[in-house]
A and B are shown apart, each in its own frame.
Chain A
Amino acid sequence: MDRNEVLARLRGVLEESSTEPIDWSQLAETSTVASLGFDSLSILDVLYGIEQEFGVELDAGDVIDLETVGELVALVGERAA
């Protein structure tokens, strides 16, 4: 699975988990996680969505310190391989 495919599939997961109305067509690997409108509960929604979309179980600790969407793409791609 290449990074573009991971990013495209992640977009849906992140959009469903975000608390803010955001223009998701602008999402890129350079986008910061902080700009995506996640509240403290959203992390669980993201982890649920990633498991359903990619079959990958991540810990909250794996993703909480990620700064960019690209880092999340890399993590999910690595675990899904």
Chain B
Amino acid sequence: MSGRPDSEASGLKRVRHAVEYALLRVAVLGVDLLPLSVASWCARRLADVVFTLDGSRRAVAVDNIRRAAVETDPAKARRLARRSARHFATVVVETLKARSLLAGERWREHVAFDIPPAVREVLEDPDRGLLLTTGHFGNWEVGAQAISRFKPVVAAARRVTNPHVDSLLQRRKPSRDFRLVAEWFGSPTRYTEALSQGETLALLIDLDARGEGIKLDFFGRPAATHVTAAMLHLVTKAPLVFASCRRLDTGHFEITVSDLIEHRPTGDKQADVRAILEHLNGELEAVIRRFPDQYLWAHSRWKYGEWVPPPGFVPVSGRLGGAGSRGITS
């Protein structure tokens, strides 16, 4: 019968979703009940176990570290990958606890800011939007939430495929001034609305762009890079900055924001986009080189290896045209 495999797969998926949700609920309960230091310690030990058992992810991290030449010796690269895994486990715990860490005036005990005066002016002006870019460095979630103390932050994220987990994450949204908006992912029009309303739009610049974007070196290796941040700056003229939220110790952070990055359109769109993104990548690389164990090396930034552009690929905004022509409807 043709329907059976689908229903079996659907049933397995429901079971998997239920198990994932149950495990997450237990983990969240544990994080809520334990002090931050204890929960973080437990998370780091769990990360050690996962690092040992999950050979494929470990291999990705070690390979990324070595190819980026941050650490070329295999043993040292492996140790760095392990520290990165522990770091990420701590990121998860801190993020789950962020609501209490940053509540009221408590945030002052946990976050130090290094913000240039010109950027501070933008942050304190309710009518001016800000394009804030960052990467999977330090605790980017806490960083965005802390910045929302100045002006509301909107960040786009892909919706989690498990609906129960997604619902739980939505219920734990940290504050009304920090919005994770799944529906906006890849929707520049909604981004421009947020900027025109004087909000901060937070974008991760080291997501794999797959068939879209442009090929740009990251640590000397070509990576498919989204062009949205650059195009938004060029079109809206919204102030653009790069920010990092480095962990000083568990639950304590230093947020460093770059000077305003200003690039006016020259008429050569590809050159404009490339210049902006190279600048942003340079900022991210610099902070990673200083604190490499606070980068998420296990994420597949260079998914395509040597990166061969797909047929018909034209850099900037992902033009994947096929053969032939299509009619225009009147």
- Which A residues are closer than 8 A to B by beta carbons? 17, 19-24, 26-28, 30-32, 34-37, 39-45, 47-49, 51-52, 57, 59-61, 64
Look across to chain A and name the residue whose beta carbon is closest to the beta carbon of B193.
A61
Give the residue among B193, B196, B235 with the most A Cβ atoms within 10 A: B235
Decide if B35 is an interface residue (CB 8 Å cutoff). Answer: no
The residues of A that contact B267 with a CB separation of less than 8 Å are 52
A sample of 13 inter-chain contacts (CB < 8 A) reads A17-B317, A19-B319, A21-B325, A26-B328, A36-B328, A37-B326, A42-B317, A44-B317, A49-B269, A52-B269, A57-B237, A60-B189, A61-B193
- With a 10 A CB-CB cut-off, give which of B265, B321, B328, B330 has the most chain A CB atoms: B328
Q: When the two chains form their complex, are residues A31 and B188 in contact, meaning their CB atoms are under 8 A apart?
A: no
| Residue on B nearest A35 in the bound complex, by CB | B329
Considering the complex, give the chain B residue whose CB is closest to the CB of A47: B235
The reply to whether A34 and B192 form a contact with Cβ atoms under 8 Å apart is no
Which positions in B face A, CB cutoff 8 Å?
186-189, 192-193, 196, 212, 227-228, 231-232, 234-237, 265, 267, 269, 316-330
Q: Are A44 and B326 in contact (CB under 8 A)?
A: no
CA distance A42 to B321 in the complex (A): 13
A59 touches B234 (CB 8 A): no
Interface contact A59-B192, CB-CB below 8 Å: yes
- Pick the contact of B320 from A17, A19, A27, A30 — CB < 8 Å? A19
Q: Nearest Cβ in chain A — how far from B205, in angstroms? A: 15
Q: Is A40 a contact partner of B187 (Cβ separation < 8 A)?
A: yes
Closest Cβ–Cβ distance, residue B150 to chain A (whole Å): 24
Bound complex: CA of A27 vs CA of B328, how far in Å?
Answer: 7
User: Is the pair B323, A21 in contact by a Cβ cutoff of 8 Å?
Assistant: yes
Shortest beta-carbon distance, A37 to chain B, in Å?
A: 7
Contact partner of A44 (CB less than 8 A), chosen from B232, B319, B321, B330, is B232
Distance in Å: Cβ of A44 to nearest Cβ of chain B: 4
| Smallest Cβ-Cβ distance to B188: which chain A residue | A44
Q: Which of B196, B228, B236, B329 contacts A34 (CB 8 A)?
A: B329
Contact A60–B188 (Cβ < 8 Å): yes
Can you name 15 extra interface pairs (CB under 8 A) apart from A35-B327, A44-B188, A45-B231? A21-B322, A22-B327, A22-B328, A27-B328, A32-B328, A32-B329, A40-B186, A41-B212, A48-B269, A51-B235, A51-B265, A59-B196, A60-B189, A60-B193, A61-B193
With A59-B192, A61-B192, A64-B189 known as contacts, the answer to whether A41 contacts B330 (CB < 8 A) is no
Residues of A within 8 A of B323 (CB): 21
Residues of A within 8 A of B321 (CB): 19-21
Q: Is the CB of B186 within 8 A of A41?
A: yes
> Which residues of chain A are near B324, meaning CB under 8 Å?
21
Known: A19-B319, A40-B188. A30 touches B330 (CB 8 A): yes
Partner of A31, one of B235, B269, B319, B329: B329
Q: Which of A20, A22, A39, A44 contacts B231 (CB 8 A)?
A: A44
Closest A residue to B232 by CB, please name it: A44
**Is there contact, CB below 8 Å, between B326 and A23?**
yes
Distance A43 CA – B322 CA, assembled complex (angstroms): 20
Given contacts A45-B316, A48-B235, A59-B196, contact A21 B326 (CB under 8 A): yes
A30 to B330, CA, bound (A): 5
Q: Smallest CB-CB separation from A51: which chain B residue?
A: B265
Q: Known: A51-B235, A60-B188, A60-B192. Is A41-B317 also a contact (CB below 8 A)?
A: yes
Closest-CB distance, A25 to chain B (whole angstroms): 9
